[in-house]
Structure 1
Amino acid sequence: MRVAILAGGHGTRLAEETQVRPKPMVEIGGRPILWHIMMHYSRHNLNEFAVALGYKGEYIKRYFADYAALNGDLTVRMGGPGGASVRAHERPHPEWTVDLVETGADTMTGGRVKRLAPWLGGETFMLTWGDGVSDVDLDELLAFHRSHGKLATVTAVRPPARYGHMVFDGARVTKFAEKPQAAEGWINGAFFVLEPQVLDYIAGDQIMFEHEPLERLASDGELMAYHHRGFWACMDTLRDKTKLEEMWASGNRPWATWEREQCASS
């Protein structure tokens, strides 16, 4: 099954980082958040990726083109009888296939999904954004999607609130919780499972996937929600990035599901 990842937006709310690189390449724990997302999919044996490029897409291309050399050991021979040479030594890594697809600098999210159509194999595919991490169980998500028979499944999440929450009886505070789970309800957490017919709901480049396509799918009774009660976070601002960095440094990294598998096998 192919996994589509949208990685072409300008990331204007994270301008401190995205002036020099696209948002999916902003690093958490020394690795791009895009890498973290792909590692989670790989943990569930999903290793075929189609990445929609746009803003500073060449940065992502260079990263993957140089990945083996930059993330493993090298032997550099500086001349001699055989001439100069560089040899990369393999390091264990999931067997990814990554299609890096130019989808336009100003194309909207729906348009990017539509442009990925030739790379998705005409079959059920997964889709997410290149700036959100989660520990959602992708096997359960896929099983849920297959159980209902509709065209689209969205992962619904309830993220932590940004501020403390108070409950009142008149002026008296009856309950205070420091940054509890958001009380306003469930939101779109991406991590979609989609049938290829969903592409017919996207008219062109300037369509936001989150607007008309999802609204029409819902209206047609073709959109179902998988309720994820575990961890989810979106790196939308510098504050979000800092929080994820702090979690990584502390060892509290619930989205790093591949690390739990490595610990279990060691």
Structure 2
Amino acid sequence: MKTIIMCGGKGTRLREETSIKPKPMVEIGGRPVLWHIMSIYARFGFKDFILPLGYKGEVIKQYFHDYNMRHTDFTVELKTGALTAHAGHLEDWRVTLCDTGQETLKGGRLKRVAKYIDGERFMVTYGDGVADIDLNKLLAFHTRSGAIGTFTGVRMPSRFGTVRTGAGGKILSWEEKPVLDEYINCGFFVFERRFLDYLSEDENCDLEKEPLQQLAAEGRLAMYPHPGQWQCMDTLRDSLKLNELWESGQAFWA
């Protein structure tokens, strides 16, 4: 089953890093967050990836082109330029990298890589979020639902404390950063192939707007409630938090 990881956005809220690299290449513990996301899927046996590229996509292409050189020892004969690679651990992943345009939104990117998607089912996620998700449970949920598409929902803690007041401004309760009742979409989608018919290659086709809204209106969209942890890398604060978790041995997604 193919896994598509969205890698085309500009990451404008993380300009400290994304002025020189695309957001999926921002590192956690010396490896791109993209590598961490791929490792989540590979742990469950899903090792065939499609990466729709956009902003600074050449950085991602170069990373995978040079992957062997980066992560194994080798000997170079300076006179001839001949290279001899030495044995080392390398992931047995297959990665298809596709330029899908600088300004294309996620729905258009997905449609533009459709030619590389075989089979009747595929998975999609964002290139900036990690989770301790059980992908086998996600797939089983999707199958039971009978839906065309399933997304993963998480409940997030509020960034601020909340208070409940009564008459005269009396404080009835005070709770510091409570977990919100509402779910948010954290990605980790499963789609049946016929979902591609809801998309167009137009650069303004946004995955979360008309396509998923139409699917929901038809009663063909389901949500898998993830009971564990999830964290995106959206800001410098998020990047620092994820690196702290990694360095302290508390990387819940690893």
> 1:9 is matched with which residue?
9
Q: Displacement of 1:162 after TM fit?
A: 1.8
Matched with 1:229 is: 227
Q: What CA deviation, in whole Å up to 9, does each residue of 1:201-239 have, x standing for no partner? A: 113321110111110000011100100010111111111
Aligned residue pair count: 251
Q: Which of 235, 252, 255 is the aligned partner of 2:253?
A: 255
**Aligned-residue offset at 1:84:** 4.4
Equivalent position to 1:156, from 133, 139, 153: 153
Mapped contact 2:108–2:199 kept (Cα < 8 A) = yes
TM alignment of 1:1-266, pairs within 5 A = 1-79=1-79, 83-168=80-165, 170-172=169-171, 174-177=173-176, 179-181=177-179, 183-203=180-200, 204-256=202-254
State the Cα distance separating 1:89 from its structure 2 match.
2.1
One-letter amino acid of the structure 1 residue matched with residue 39 of structure 2: M
Shift of 1:184: 4.6
Q: Which runs of 5+ in 2 are unaligned?
A: none
- 1:74 Cα deviation from its structure 2 partner: 2.1
Provide the aligned C-alpha RMSD in A: 1.5
Q: What is the distance in 1 between the residues matched to 2:91 and 2:41?
A: 10
Amino acid across the alignment from 2:189: F
Percent of pairs identical after alignment? 49
Deviation string 1:162-181 (CA, Å, 9 cap, x unpaired) is 2233444543363332x332
Letter in 1 for 2:158: A
Q: Distance in 2 between matches of 1:62 and 1:173?
A: 57
Q: Distance in 1 between matches of 2:171 and 2:67?
A: 57
CA drift of 1:21 comes to: 0.4
Partners of 1:147 and 1:89 in 2: CA distance:
46
Q: What's the secondary structure of 2:84's corresponding residue?
A: strand
Query: Are 1:68 and 1:90, in contact at CA under 8 Å, matched by a contact in 2?
Result: no
TM-score, normalization by structure 1? 0.90
Structure-2 separation of matches of 1:27 and 1:165: 33
CA pair 71-167 structure 1, distance change in 2 beyond 3 A: farther
Equivalents in 2 of 1:207, 1:230: separation in Å?
A: 31
Q: In the alignment, is the contact (CA less than 8 A) between 2:52 and 2:99 conserved in 1?
A: yes
